[in-house]
Amino acid sequence: MLIRTHDNGFNHPLGSEITPQAAYQNRRQWLLSAAALGGAASWAGREAWAQTGTTRPGKLAALPGRTSSVAGATTVEKPTSYSDASSYNNYYEFGTDKSDPVATAKTLKPRPWTVAVEGLVNKPGNFDLDALLKLSPMEERIYRLRCVEGWSMVIPWVGYSLAELIKQVQPQGGAKYVEFVTLADNKQMPGLNANVLDWPYVEGLRMDEAMHPLTLLAFGMYGEVLPNQNGAPLRLVVPWKYGFKSGKSLVKIRFTDKEPRTAWNVAAPQEYGFYSNVNPQVSHPRWSQATERRIGEEGGLFAKRRQTQMFNGYEPQVGQLYAGMDLRKLF
Ligand code: MTE
């Protein structure tokens, strides 16, 4: 983000509109395996994106989720194809080109994996990935993701509200913020050799933002576990904020009384604030935030741009969190 100039020069293939036989068979197999798992999922949301021609990709282990009942959690917009969502990525630990992570993130080892929970909580500890997978029922949430660079996607994520984990660890009264630290391992991540950011990649939320039911701890997408390039084995997804707030491959969650120093804010404070709420009225110094390009839409780079919505369209759910704040100053 810092070193790219514009969302340009990208010649992305359109998502396939057809369902090849193999994909159809994969989908059938998946339905059977999900049934075998006893998933009490409602298939409505899944059908919505399956009908777009985006079947379960069948590349990774199945991770079905029931359709979420959280308000705002399932948009009816057409989801981005899996191939676009998993090949046009920002994951600087694996390179700064959009096409780098899909090629280089094969070295990431998503298992075994532990997340340390520390700071101002009564029950700190190390959570094993398997324990986290079982902590709460998996839900499917179809969220818009808007990147500060001016593009957006619609992705069916699988996970549960971060609030479920937060409740378990019992934050103390003094905990006002949550810091999210992501993996920084030279052996697994070739991009760490570049001094793009001060590693590890750190993000943060205010406590009420972290507790908001839309804030998702995601373990999967498109009915499967997360591909490495999308942040395996678990990441954050905060749909009303610019994409960079959604840290990938989390290893530590720390509760604190001070606003965390986030990686992008440290790198360029005049460009990336702590809040980073999607706001079409407040331009980034180098990019207007008024419109966006939906990845995979017909016309590619020349497709008609969409109007960006306040809080990425989640204003009814999250607007009250920012009542009375000057969002030009606290961007
Ligand atoms: N998390 C880590 N650890 N490293 C990163 O470079 N990039 C962020 C965010 N999380 C990033 C990260 C940015 S800029 C965006 S837009 C989203 O991840 C992209 O997520 P996606 O590749 O699943 O679309």
3-state secondary structure of 302: helix
Two tokens at 104? Answer: 């280089």
Q: Give the tens place of pLDDT for each residue, 283-319.
A: 999 999 999 999 999 887 788 999 999 999 999 999 9
Sheet holding 177-182, edge to edge: 125-128, 114-119, 250-256, 177-182, 202-206
3-state helix, strand, coil in the chain (%, to 5): 25, 20, 50
How far, in Å, from the CA of 229 to the mean position of ligand 1?
A: 9
- Which atom of ligand 1 is nearest to 91's Cα? 6
What residue type is assigned to position 323 of the chain?
A
73 closest CA partner among 299, 257, 239:
239
Q: Which residues of the chain have pLDDT under 50?
A: 4-43, 51, 53
How far, in Å, from the CA of 184 to the mean position of ligand 1?
A: 14
Phi, psi of 198 (to 5 degrees): -85, 95
pTM attached to this predicted model: 0.87
Ligand 1 atom 24 nearest Cα = 89
- Which atom of ligand 1 is nearest to 101's Cα? 22
Ligand 1 atom 11 nearest Cα = 91
Secondary structure (DSSP) of 82-114: HHHHTTS---GGG-SSTTHHHHHGGG---SS-E
Structural domain spans, the chain: 3-322
So what's the pLDDT on residue 118? 98
DSSP-assigned beta bridge partners for residue 121: 171
- Which residues are within 8 A (CB) of 290 and not within 5 positions of it... i.e. 6 or more apart? 280, 281, 283, 307, 308
So what's the pLDDT on residue 127? 98
So what's the pLDDT on residue 311? 98
Euclidean distance between CA atoms 20 and 114, whole angstroms: 38
So what's the pLDDT on residue 47? 55
Pocket of ligand 1 (CB under 6 A): 1, 89-93, 145, 147, 182, 201, 230, 243-244, 246-249
So what's the pLDDT on residue 167? 98
Two tokens at 300? Answer: 């590619």
How far, in Å, from the CA of 304 to the mean position of ligand 1?
A: 25
How far, in Å, from the CA of 52 to the mean position of ligand 1?
A: 25
So what's the pLDDT on residue 298? 80
CATH architecture of residue range(s) 3-322: Alpha-Beta Complex (3.90)
So what's the pLDDT on residue 50? 55
Euclidean distance between CA atoms 158 and 294, whole angstroms: 21
Q: Which residues of 91-129 are buried (b: 16+ CB within 10 A; e: fewer)?
A: bbbbbbebebbbebbeebebeebebebbbbbeeeeebeb
